[in-house]
Amino acid sequence: MSEREHTPKSDQPRAPRPGPRWRAFFAWSESTLIGASFIGLCAWLGSEYTVSLDEHVVVPGVHVAGLDIGGWDLDRLHAGGGGLSAQLLDAPLHLTTAGGARIDATPRQLGADAELEGAAARALRVGRTGAVVEDLMTRAAARAGDVRLTVPMAFDEAQALDMLAKLSPKFDTPSLPTRLDLEARSVVPARQGTAMMPHDSLSRVAVALASGASEVDLVVRSKPAVDKDPLRSRAQLAFGAVLGRFATSYRTGSAQRDRGHNLKLGSAAIDGYILDPGETFSFNAVVGDRSVEAGYRFAPGINSGEIVDVVGGGICQVASSLFAAGFFAGLEVVRARPHSRPSSYVDMGLDATVVYPSIDLKLKNSYDFPVVLHVTANRGMVEAEVLGPGRDFNIVFGRQVDAVVPYATVEREDPSLKEGHQKVAQRGMRGFTVTRTRKRLVRGEQVGPEESWRLDYPATREIVKIGTGGAGAEVPEHRVRPQLRNPRASFEIVQ
């Protein structure tokens, strides 16, 4: 067995390994150089700062009213003040209220005057308080664009008050009662109106102008609530669903302007009417007398089977549109009389004529909830809706033609027409006897009994004018009349 040689361990500690001297010298030199540079920089900054305290120019980066005026001296500040003053005095000043109203004015309109002398003095004092560290930090902030000064303004109270008084009506809002928004199908709660207070708002105008603010929140007060609010108890009224709807068209040319006016007037009288459970709607009671005093105009209408100009002509189209909507909504038909001749804008069986005060349209709400009537006449359409919380059924309208009645012809002498000529003054219309039915379906199955009505449309006589005039009388133009159309023997509409 061989033995390994071992170096005996010494009991004395090992001496440290000596490092190169140049490293220590370099570290000492670097520290000394940095220190000397910092001292030199501080001395230079201190010297520059001391010198700048005696200068009369604005330190770099200072902004006044958005304008960089760094490096400007007092003379330049004064010379440029005119343009700056105009810019400030004509800048938008937003006058607002807590209700969200806003009107744009200018400080000049409120009698303001920019205090440029004070602003110039403030600008020259930036970074020159004498506190070295604070001033140096301020100047650094100015170079970063963070020092922005405002120009305070004084104002003429009398001119400001006069301007606010003139603007006051534009901020006023009326007190409104509870009302129905028929397009949104919701109840709009009552609202108290507001009035702007010119005298009380003066102090806020003064504070805003003095601080250079661009917005003034004016003082407003609430107006008293409306005395009469018949819909206040209807806050929970639900009418988001259409129970029945029907629309009819009308001409909008200049020749039909008066008729269109009557349609709008009659529709507006009904629009928004609330029909409570068990209540009966009366067209004549709600719309009232169709008179000149009520605003109605002369327009073509049916009178004893003839088309003649009558006050309120066309109102039957409103009644017919509403009747059809109520029919499809399932309202009870209490009274509905068809026209004395078939109408051009609605099918037989869905029309209803009204004459104040003798012939009325009456519909009863047999539901256990209120319904709302929504009727409008606009852009050539009369649209009627019955609104409520919803329905789970369909209505089927049926019509069957049972008999056709020929029309008679009546001749009338007319001296305004040349002898030997004739002219049809009113075209004859056949009469009809029809049966109208209504069924209610739930998921396609009929529920309850079928309702049935027998309706008679008398024939309308044809009136022919026979000429008896001399040589200067009218010679009517010969026209080829289109043939009368035959109505469908039977048909149904499901809604």
- pLDDT for 175-231, tens place per residue? 999 999 999 999 999 999 999 999 999 999 988 888 878 899 999 999 999 999 999
85 and 196, same domain (yes or no): yes
- pTM higher than the cut 0.85: no
Look at 81-90, 180-189, 289-298, 330-339 and tell me which has the smallest mean pLDDT: 81-90
- Residue 6, pLDDT > 70, answer no
pLDDT of residue 306: 66
- Strand 462-469 and strand 409-418: pairing? parallel
Is residue 41 in some structural domain? no
Q: What is the mean pLDDT of residues 157-178?
A: 92
Rounded to 5 degrees, φ, ψ at 346 are: -150, 150
Is residue 16 in some structural domain? no
162 and 187, same domain (yes or no): yes
- Residue 460, pLDDT > 70, answer yes
CA 293/CA 316 separation, integer angstroms: 19
Confidence of residue 139 (pLDDT cuts 50, 70, 90): confident
Is residue 114 in some structural domain? yes
437 and 458, same domain (yes or no): yes
122 and 258, same domain (yes or no): no
Q: What is the mean pLDDT of residues 230-237?
A: 93
Is residue 3 in some structural domain? no
Q: Say which residue, 259 or 42, is predicted with more confidence.
A: 259
> How does the average pLDDT of the chain come out, rounded?
86
CA 356/CA 291 separation, integer angstroms: 10
**Which residues are registered as beta bridge partners of 193?**
none
Check if the beta carbon of residue 438 is closer than 8 Å to that of residue 491.
no
Q: How many domains does the chain have?
A: 3
Among residues 387, 403, 422, which one ends one of the domains?
Answer: 387
What b/e sequence results for 325-364 when a residue is b if at least 16 CB atoms lie within 10 Å of its CB, and e otherwise? bbbbbbbebeebbbbbbbbebbbbbbbbbbbbeebbbbbb
User: Measured over all CA atoms, what is the biggest interatomic distance in the chain, rounded to whole angstroms?
Assistant: 167
Among residues 369, 387, 405, which one ends one of the domains?
Answer: 387
pLDDT of residue 24: 57
Using CB atoms within 10 A of its CB, is residue 386 exposed (0-12), middle (13-18) or buried (19+)? buried
132 and 245, same domain (yes or no): no
Is residue 426 in some structural domain? yes
377 and 410, same domain (yes or no): no
Q: At what angle do helices 81-89 and 116-125 cross, to 10 degrees?
A: 110
Is residue 139 in some structural domain? yes
69 and 214, same domain (yes or no): yes
273 and 304, same domain (yes or no): yes
381 and 433, same domain (yes or no): no
Is residue 374 in some structural domain? yes
Is residue 57 in some structural domain? no
Confidence of residue 152 (pLDDT cuts 50, 70, 90): confident
Among residues 222, 251, 269, which one ends one of the domains?
Answer: 222
Residue 441, number of CB atoms within 10 A of its CB: 14
368 and 396, same domain (yes or no): no
- For 372, the domain range is 238-387
Confidence of residue 56 (pLDDT cuts 50, 70, 90): confident
321 and 411, same domain (yes or no): no
CA angle 19, 23, 24 (to 5 degrees): 90
Q: Which two tokens stand for residue 444?
A: 């396609």
- Residue 489, pLDDT > 70, answer yes
Check if the beta carbon of residue 423 is closer than 8 Å to that of residue 417.
yes
Using CB atoms within 10 A of its CB, is residue 125 exposed (0-12), middle (13-18) or buried (19+)? exposed
67 and 99, same domain (yes or no): yes
Which of 145-150's residues contact partners 24+ apart within 8 Å by CB, and which partners?
145/61, 145/63, 147/61, 147/62, 147/63, 148/63, 148/64, 148/66, 149/62, 149/63, 149/64, 149/65, 149/119, 149/122, 149/123, 150/64, 150/65, 150/119, 150/211, 150/212
- Cα–chain center distance at 230: 25
